[in-house]
Every structure is written in C-alpha cells, then in structure tokens.
Structure 1
Amino acid sequence: MSSKNPRRAAFDILLRIEKEKSFADILIDHELSKDMIKGADRGLLTELVYGVLRRQGTLDHIIGQFSKQRTDKLELYVLLLLRLGLYQCFFLDRVPVSAAVNETVKLAKELAPRASGFINAILRNADRNRDNISYPDRAENPVGYLAVRYSHPAWLTRQWCDQLGVDGAEELAAAMSEPPPFTIRVNTLRTSREALMARLTEEGINCGETRWSPDGIRLNQSGLISRLPSFRDGLFTVQDESSQLAPLFLAPEKGDRVLDACAAPGGKTTQIAQLMGDSGEIYACDVNHKKLRLIKETCDRLGIKSVRTFTMDATTPSPAIKEVTFQRILVDAPCSGLGVIRRNPEGKWSKSPEDLLPQARTQVTILENLCKYLDKEGTLLYATCSTSVQENEYVIDTFLREHPEFVAEDLRTLFPEFAPLFTERGFFRSWPHRDGMDGFFAARLKKIK
C-alpha cells in the first residue's frame, strides 16, 4: 500500500472543516485509521491540522501583512495553503523553512496552480521579514493584542480580560493556544492508579499522577491509546482531570439512584459507577440515541453493570423517568465549550458572543425540567466546560431566584482539600493556565424542601 502525503491529508481535513463544520478529531482519526500515513508523518498530520486551527488568527494576521488582497477575499484553497505553509515556517522548529516553503508550493501547483507563484512570494517574504511583523499595541489595545498574538476571537479575549485582568488573560490565552495534556482515569473497579502506572510503563508509556484527581494519570503522548492492551482490558478511560472532579463533587453513595442527564460519551457516568462500587442505579440519558452506544461500549469495556441508558431531551419531561426520583442528579449541560477550545480549536472560530444567551436559556430550561425529579435533601450538580459567566454563575442565579426550595452549597466547606479550585462563592472553576486542566465550572445545589 502506498503512503499518503501528510500535508495533502492535512489540507483535505482543513478544507472539510471549513466547508462542512466537521470535527478535527474525528477526521484525523478516520484518516489515520486507513494506515496510509506512516511513521513520523502521522504525528506531522495531527500537528498540522491542530496547529493551523489553534494559530489561525495569528496566521491570517501574518498573511494580511504581506498580501495586497484582504485575507477574507482570498480563495479558500489559497488561504488554507498559506496557513499550512506559514504554520510550518513560524511554529514548527523541526521543519526547515526551505522545506516548508518548497512542500507548500509543490502542493499549490497541484491544488491551486495559478496561485502557486503568489503563495511562494508570500511565504518567502514573510520569512525574510518576520522580525518586522507588527502587532496591536498591548497597552493601548490589549484585547486586539491577545487576539492576534495568541490567536483567539477578539470577543473572547475581551471576556477573559474582564474576568482575569490583562495579565491573567494573557496567561490564559497563551495556554489555550498550546496542546492540552492527555489524561486518563483509572478504572478502580479493576485496578489501582499505582498498578496501572506500572502496567503503562511496561507498555512503553511514560506517565505521572494528576495533581487533583486521585484516579487520574497524565500520559506523555496520545497516539492510538485504544491499541494498548491495558485499554482493551478495561483498566482506564480517557477523561480530562477537570471532568474527573465533577463526579467527586456530586459525591454519590453506594445504593443511590443517580441521573446523568446529558451523559454521552459516558466518562462521568462510568466514574459515578466506580464511586458507587457499581451498585445502585445509574440512569444515563442523552438526546442523541446514537451516542448512547458510546456509553454502552465504555460500560462493557470497563465491566460496569449498574448503568441503564435512555434517550431523553433534558429540556422536556421524559416518559423514561416519569415515575422515578433520584438522590443525585448530574447536569453536565450542553454549552459553548469555551473551556476546551485547545482540544477543539475549530470551535472557537465558529462561535460568537450572541450564542451564549440562547445557550444559557437552554441550560436554565434543563435545570427547570430536571429539578422536579430530585428527592428532598437530594443533590444536583450543574457543570459546564465553559469559561463564560453567562453560562455558569448567571444560570445558577437565574435558577435559584425561581426556586427557593434549592440552595447553592459551598464547595469550600464540603471539600476543603480542593479549596484552591473554588471561587469566593464556593463554586468550582478551573483555568488551564492556573490549574493545568480544561476550563470547567460546577455548582452543587441542594433541595431543602
């Protein structure tokens, strides 16, 4: 079988993302599964796709410094080729500039032959004048500076500046432009963290303990983890450290009946089962019935028996739980995903600030619908992977105003060992630059009457 050019494959994936709003991880996994890209080229493909998406704003700014034609007026093929070439020139140390330019021009002659000369000129000119590229002034225009220098939408860097100040926002913007850590969670029903780390070392994987999660392990690589014998044996599942903390704050007990209302793909569901010793009942629900298959597959691989799956729209009453109440409810609400944009960098370019209020209204609706299924003295944990106040504190405050039978519990009192991760209101909020994990929020609500 002949091998495939990783740069051409990266171009094809970026093109599909632009045209179809597809997800980078799914397209990359599909391409690599064909086994037509070999050896180090597999890593290069992944680096090019994610790198271009993470640095797209900066790359377009550089293009704008050297192109007489506005970036948004360039043909899509030309724009993608320039991004690919410039990313290699400016952000990939292991690729010589001459090779980056030559390979990009070679690809241009195949895909956009009339523009190959233009692309060659832009790449070479940008390389020669890299020290003369101008950026917005940090003091006069911090929002624009952070947006261009670290490649994020300006509306988002403005939010970060409001939340963290300019210095904190810059630290966050820098972190959000880098690859995220790769974290797994031990299946404690079958092994311990120490035993799994020893097993992973035998399998050639360097790893270390997470700082906060007692069951988390950080790996020095992602690769095809599913091919590891320890994965096939159900000893772990992939889950970011911030996500691993939410079930801990829900604190399910053995024998509880728990509703995981927006459960797919099942990371928190299976962790809840572990915390309960695979006892009691866990109702794992999702609006997309196809995603329930992912939960079932993960439960089967991990050997978990206490989970039942149902299709359910969390915004409306469901026949599946019509006569059922729960001691614990987890609402991992659908959100903008602003806390995980370094994992899904394509998403930051398709979002806008206008998306947040409708999202928040949906989140409130979900809480309004699900709260009636909670037992008296029951616990509801609301969580998102968003950094936005509008999707977090605003949602909780809106819900509590209409529901005096609920109170927000102070996580600082309940979980003092995690105190640095909690806000002054007792909510959980993690920041990638500060905590080394995804941006995440959680509030714990108690039904008092």
Structure 2
Amino acid sequence: MSSKNPRRAAFDILLRIEKEKSFADILIDHELSKDIIKGADRGLLTELVYGVLRRQGTLDYIISQFSKQRPEKLELFVRLLLRLGIYQCFFLDRVPVSAAVNETVNLAKELAPRASGFINAVLRNADRGRDTIAYPDRAERPAEYLAARYSHPAWLAQQWCDQLGLEAAEELAAAMSEPPPLTVRVNTLRITREELIQRLAGEGVSCSATSWSPDGIRLNQSGQITRLPSFRDGLFTVQDESSQLAPLFLAPGKGERVLDACAAPGGKTTQIAQLMQDSGEIYACDVNNKKLRLIKETCDRLGINSVRTFTMDATAPSNAIKETTFHRILVDAPCSGLGVIRRNPEGKWSKSGDDLLQLARTQVSILENLCRYLEPKGTILYATCSTSVQENEYVVDSFLAQHPEFVVEDLRPLFPQYAPLFTERGFFRSWPHRDGMDGFFSARLKRK
C-alpha cells in the first residue's frame, strides 16, 4: 500500500479487509501516516474506503442488475474494482462519471487485465441504466428493500423492522448509511466546554456544543484531530455523545472505588476520572494487554492519575482484583457493535444474527462474574453499543432471573433531564435517526 494513487490504495485496503478481516480505520491511518498520498487525495482515499464499505450491499445490488454473473460469483479483484467504480459513479458527485469509469478501468488493466473489458461494460451500462434499477417492493418485502436500498444485511434490516416498524426502520437504515458526526469530550479537569469551543475556533475548527452531553462538542470540520494543539495539550478526547452519557448514568462520586471492566480504549475510563475529579481509585481492566497501553497514553495526555490498569478476563475470577470490592462497576460489554456500524461499516458484513446469541451468553457471564465484586447497595451500569434486544434487554432479564438480590433502577426519576432518551422500563436507548448519536444502551442495576 505504498502507491500515490488513492484509488489503488483504497483497493489494497478493501482487499485486506476482505481477506484478513482487518479494521478500516487502522489501515487508513497506517496508509496516511506514510505521507505519500497528499492533499485532497487523502480525503478521497478515506471516502472511497468507508463509502464502499457503507454502501457495499447497494453496490452489489446495482452490479447484479448489469452483470450476468452475480457479485458473489465474481473474482474478488473484479468485485472490488466494480464496487469502487460504481460507488464513484453513483455516490461521489465531485467525481465525473467519465473519470470514475476511466480510472477504474485503468486500475483493472493493472490488477485484473483479463476482466478490464467486462468491468468497463458493467460500469457504462450501469451509468446508462441507473433510472431503470428496480429495488425490491417496499410493502411486500420490506427487509429486502431496506437491505438493497440502504446497504445493510437483510437479517439486520428485518430486526430493525421488528423493533421499530417499517417507517422508523427506514429512517434508521438511511442514517446508518451516512458518515457519522465527529464528537469529542472536553477534559473538564483542564478547561470548560465554552473555553474549548473558543480555543478550537482559534485553531480553525468549526464546532458546536452537543445537545445532550454537558461535556460534548461536535466538530463540523477539523482535518486531522491529533495534529491540533488543543489535542496535544490534553484538552479533549474523541468520544461519541451517546458514549459520554453512560458514565453520567453510572454517577461515580469523589473518593469511590470504581471498576471499568472492559475499559479499552479508555474513553469512559477517563470520563469517570473527570466525574470523580481525579480522586478515588479507578481499576481499568481489559482482556487485551496491548489495548491497556491506549488507556495509559490517554490518561497521560489528559493528566489523569487515579486510573490503574490491569489485564483481566471479565468472564472469570481474576487475581487483578482478588478480594477488592467496588462502589460502582461499569460493564461496557463486548458486543456486535450494531449501533456503530456507520463508524465501523466493515463489521456489519462479518456478522450474522446467530452471532448475537453467543455474544449474549458472554455478556451474561460477565455480569455473573463481576457482580460478586460489588459492595452492598453498589451499582452496576451495563452498557453496549448494540441496537439488538437480544444483547440488551434479554441480557439484563437473564441476569436478574438468576440474581434476585439485584433490581433495575429506573433512570427516568434519577435523570429527568434525559427523559426522552429512556425506554418504558427506564433503560437508556439512543438511535442515530432520532437522537443524532450512535445506537447505545444502558441499564443500571443495584444490589439490594
């Protein structure tokens, strides 16, 4: 991936994602860090990779309309080249169709020369026939319609229809296909939100305060965040607004002992420290020792001293915490990530509905294991970035069925200022199409 051509670099990244199940953000950051791709081409590379991943289902559906072979039957190189070409023709207004076709065909001559004529024909036929594309009937086959029109797995589209009804499911599907907002959290140990907004404006960043989080700022344009002086000075960290609300619902107090059981990369950990005014003890644990370095680096940059990191499998008893008990425990459980697929679109193509059952079992086992470390009258906040009921309400109910010493705390009377974000059972549940945040879930459990 050393080419100066952003289309070739995008192809190489998409190929690695297909073959190695790699993460798009890591591969893009690695490519851009070489500083070989310059200027506007850096933005084009990012747009092509994320755009193709977000719209992959729709791109394949369009290809199927103009190719005698179904996309899944095509050679991988050919399929990826067609996706890149179709994406530019249909979804990139600033790239002329002629340029999109020519650039893709030139790339095909280099990477798949025998298929270059076929690729040229499919792209030109798709452009000429774009008004003839017929999507599945919305009323008779709603899940298939949403899957093809907005590029999501059919099983997920069906799940959204069952949860929300077709109208809201379509709004959600549309929102999940768009680029997400970029939100940061102010380091209130060093600066106020109003002061940081002024500081960012002075650094040429257009931004505004978030609607729900008292410490959030939405950046309308920023360039590379890590190069901003305010980032280097530890005045903020990147964190979506929905994620910023979970520590607020945990409500840690000064001097308490808190466990963040699945802590990496540390956004919520450092927010808990801020809420505690960097006092007390915060145990930040994760099963991946390498990811703990991210937490330490963030704490150092933000000037936080109350966090201790440990390697720990949250599903099993650990020597890291031994006989320690905690006033509060945050379980930001490993999940499907269905609520953040607009940020990590590669994830939606590597999962199936069957995966949710295994994830739910793991989530229950984490709660089962960690509840023993909670003090009497202590609080557990269970959270996921998933939209599925199976990973959220069902997990909470399964845990409560085995642990009558715990009860759900209704968040509505505790946090009335967030009332529109709570469900009828007092859980927090945010939706991108409704709230402008990632899909997130939180339930507060208290030991009697």
- Post-superposition shift, 1:234? 0.2
Aligned to 1:386: 386
Cα-to-partner distance string for 1:105-135 (whole Å, 9 max, x where unaligned): 0111111111000000000000001000110
Give matches, 1:174-253, under 5 Å: 174-221=174-221, 223-253=223-253
Contact 1:182–1:222, Cα closer than 8 Å, also in 2: no
Aligned to 2:123: 123
Counterpart amino acid of residue 72 in structure 2 = D
Q: Give the TM-score normalised by the residue count of structure 1.
A: 0.99
Aligned to 1:5: 5
Q: Distance in 2 between matches of 1:45 and 1:168?
A: 32
Q: Distance in 2 between matches of 1:33 and 1:419?
A: 43
Aligned to 1:371: 371
Aligned to 2:402: 402
- Where structure 1 has 5 or more consecutive residues not aligned to the other structure, the ranges are none
Q: Distance in 1 between matches of 2:442 and 2:434?
A: 17
Counterpart amino acid of residue 281 in structure 1 = E
Q: CA RMSD in A?
A: 0.8
Q: Distance in 1 between matches of 2:3 and 2:268?
A: 39
Counterpart amino acid of residue 349 in structure 2 = W
Aligned to 2:88: 88
Aligned to 2:411: 411
Q: Distance in 1 between matches of 2:219 and 2:394?
A: 35
Q: Distance in 2 between matches of 1:201 and 1:328?
A: 37
Counterpart amino acid of residue 135 in structure 1 = Y
Moved more, 222-231 or 48-57: 222-231
May I ask how many residue pairs the two structures share in their alignment?
Answer: 447
Aligned to 1:64: 64
Aligned to 1:430: 430
Q: Distance in 1 between matches of 2:260 and 2:72?
A: 43
- Where structure 2 has 5 or more consecutive residues not aligned to the other structure, the ranges are none
Aligned to 1:267: 267
- Post-superposition shift, 1:221? 2.8
Aligned to 2:361: 361
Contact 1:3–1:38, Cα closer than 8 Å, also in 2: no
Counterpart amino acid of residue 314 in structure 2 = A
Residue 3 and residue 319 in structure 1: after superposition, are their counterparts in 2 closer, same or farther (change >3 A)? closer
Cα-to-partner distance string for 1:322-377 (whole Å, 9 max, x where unaligned): 11000000000000000000000000000000000110000000000000100001
What secondary structure is seen at the aligned counterpart in 1 of 2:387? coil
- Post-superposition shift, 1:222? 5.2
Moved more, 217-226 or 298-307: 217-226
What secondary structure is seen at the aligned counterpart in 1 of 2:208? strand
Aligned to 2:443: 443
Q: Distance in 1 between matches of 2:382 and 2:222?
A: 29
Cα-to-partner distance string for 1:275-330 (whole Å, 9 max, x where unaligned): 00000000000000110000000000000000000000000001111110000000
What secondary structure is seen at the aligned counterpart in 1 of 2:335? coil
- Post-superposition shift, 1:70? 1.6
Runs of 4+ in 1 over 3 A off after TM superposition: none
Q: Give the TM-score normalised by the residue count of structure 2.
A: 0.99
Give matches, 1:23-62, under 5 Å: 23-62=23-62
- Post-superposition shift, 1:3? 7.0
Q: Distance in 2 between matches of 1:224 and 1:214?
A: 24
What secondary structure is seen at the aligned counterpart in 2 of 1:220? strand
1:20 equivalent in alignment to 2:20 = yes
What secondary structure is seen at the aligned counterpart in 2 of 1:152? coil
Q: Distance in 2 between matches of 1:304 and 1:315?
A: 28
Q: Distance in 2 between matches of 1:152 and 1:221?
A: 27
Counterpart amino acid of residue 427 in structure 2 = F
